[in-house]
Copies of this chain bind each other. A is one copy, B any other.
Amino acid sequence: MHKSKLGGFIIDCRTSDLPAAADFWGAALGMPIRELPGAEGQLYRRLEDSQHGLEIEVQKVEHPSRVHLDIETDDIEAEVRRLEALGAKRIQSVQTWWVMEAPTGQRFCVVQASSPKFHERAAQWP
């Protein structure tokens, strides 16, 4: 048995100016911006969502700008298989997560659980 839930979303921005992109989205959503250390900080800024407990990040990308959802889980392989059974497809394994594509066409990621209330809020799957 494993668990999963909506982890949050990533605001993918095709931009050369990640700080400006994060400034816009932080101000638009009323969320403080946190810089991240090391290589991660070159690609991501975190928006602190104390309102809902979601993991929200602004990401610098090369593809067209969009928003993608993250599903967080305590067992990535089991969750990817569950989503495949629902009709999603594996697209690419990246570092610790999987990029998948929904039957309705949106890309999304399956990531390791990190939200503080994961075990309390997540659904449990057989």
Interface residues, chain A, with chain B CB atoms under 8 Å away: 4-6, 9, 11, 13-15, 20-21, 24-25, 27-31, 49, 51-54, 64-69, 71, 83, 86-88, 102-106, 108, 121-123
Q: How far is the CA of A87 from the CA of B28 in the complex (A)?
A: 10
Q: Which residues of B contact A105 (CB under 8 A)?
A: 13-14, 64-65
Q: Which residues of B contact A49 (CB under 8 A)?
A: 6
Number of identical monomers bound together in the oligomeric complex: 2
Task: With CB as the reference atom, state the residue of chain B lying closest to A14.
Answer: B105
CB pair B30 A123 closer than 8 Å = yes
Task: With CB as the reference atom, state the residue of chain B lying closest to A51.
Answer: B121
Which secondary structure characterizes the binding site on chain A? mixed
Task: With CB as the reference atom, state the residue of chain B lying closest to A8.
Answer: B52
Q: How far is the CA of A62 from the CA of B104 in the complex (A)?
A: 12
